[in-house]
Amino acid sequence: MVAILTTHGVVENFYLVLLISILSVMILGGAFGALAVRVRKLYFMIVTFAFGHVVWSVAMYSLQHITYGFNGIRDIHRPDLSLPWSMENNTNFYYLVLVVGAVCFLILYLMIKSPFGHALIGIRDNEHRMIALGHNTLLYKYICYIVSGIIAGVGGLLFAYFNGYVNPSELHWLWSGDALMMMFIGGIGTFWGPPLGALVYTGLRYWVSAYTMYWFGIEGIIFILVVLFFRGGVAGFLTDLQRRLKGSKR
């Protein structure tokens, strides 16, 4: 959306682009979420991946005259925030991403600590009990689906500005697979787990790729080891370690 709006001369104001991008993600997430939240567990993941593949196919082929297909969209200029600092400077843009990321994490943290977040935790642990207590679990999951889409959309917006180039291949389900790997490594169901998993996964990817071209094979081995021995991920391992240390002190 950012690339289409800015390079085609439709909208150049950063704040308006941000607003349009968020609204677009809300509409798309609302349409997909209405179906996705009706299935659970593995089927939810499969349906979500399928929706991503549909979007990729439309962007790659049906809208090729807009997205330029495999060639992608180039020359995406950094945003003008009407501030004294130019975003063309990589350091300034880094701090912009840092601030936006911190705001997103703060919003998610406040959501988790709110009654809405407690309801989500209850749904995760025992959805049938939450239904018995009178909660509309479908509505809770639907809102959560849209919010997650908005957060991902903001990340995609910043990625487009940072890279200066986007390609429909970045909508492929393989990118969702990377995000899933980050969650598995960090710890699903934890707040700080996915960011830790992203750091570990990205760091390993760049480090291993510097020595060998067989990163995908090593990635598969890492996934197997995590599933077999570290099901709680990094966050779960650190939590268990902290409990053991506290138990030994007693």
pLDDT at 250 over 90: no
pLDDT, one tens digit per residue, over 168-216 is: 888 877 777 788 888 888 888 788 888 888 888 888 888 888 888 888 8
230/181 Cα distance (integer angstroms) = 13
CB atoms within 10 A of CB 160: 21
Instruction: Confirm if 111 and 118 have CB atoms less than 8 A apart.
Output: no
Task: Work out the pLDDT band at 114, boundaries 50, 70, 90.
Answer: very high
Task: Work out the pLDDT band at 249, boundaries 50, 70, 90.
Answer: low
Strand partners, 168: none
Give pLDDT, residue 17.
Answer: 87
Handedness of CA 96, 99, 102, 106 (dihedral sign): negative
Q: Which two tokens stand for residue 57?
A: 């196919």
Which residue has better confidence, 213 or 8?
A: 213
Strand partners, 73: 166
CB atoms within 10 A of CB 123: 19
pLDDT, one tens digit per residue, over 144-165 is: 999 998 998 898 899 889 888 8
Give pLDDT, residue 150.
Answer: 92
Q: What is the mean pLDDT of the chain?
A: 86
pTM of the model: 0.84
pLDDT, one tens digit per residue, over 44-78 is: 888 888 888 888 888 888 888 888 888 888 888 88
Collapsed DSSP state (helix, strand, coil) of residue 73: strand
Q: Which two tokens stand for residue 196?
A: 């830790």
Task: Work out the pLDDT band at 143, boundaries 50, 70, 90.
Answer: very high
Q: Which segment of 24-38, 41-55, 104-118 scores lowest on mean pLDDT? A: 41-55
- The domain locations on the chain are 1-170, 172-250
For the residues of 137-172, what is the DSSP string, one character each? HHHHHHHHHHHHHHHHHHHHHHHHHHHS-B-GGGGS
Instruction: Confirm if 237 and 244 have CB atoms less than 8 A apart.
Output: no
Helix (H) or strand (E) holding 129: helix 127-132
Instruction: Confirm if 144 and 187 have CB atoms less than 8 A apart.
Output: no
Report the candidate in 238, 218, 231, 242 with the shortest Cα–Cα distance to residue 185: 231
Give pLDDT, residue 97.
Answer: 92
Report the candidate in 147, 161, 145 with the shortest Cα–Cα distance to residue 1: 161
pLDDT at 84 over 70: yes
Distance from the first to the final alpha carbon of the chain: 56
Which residue has better confidence, 173 or 217?
A: 217
Give pLDDT, residue 64.
Answer: 85
Give how far the C-alpha of residue 84 lies from the chain's centroid of Cα atoms, to the nearest Å.
Answer: 30
Give pLDDT, residue 63.
Answer: 85
Give pLDDT, residue 99.
Answer: 93
Give pLDDT, residue 119.
Answer: 92
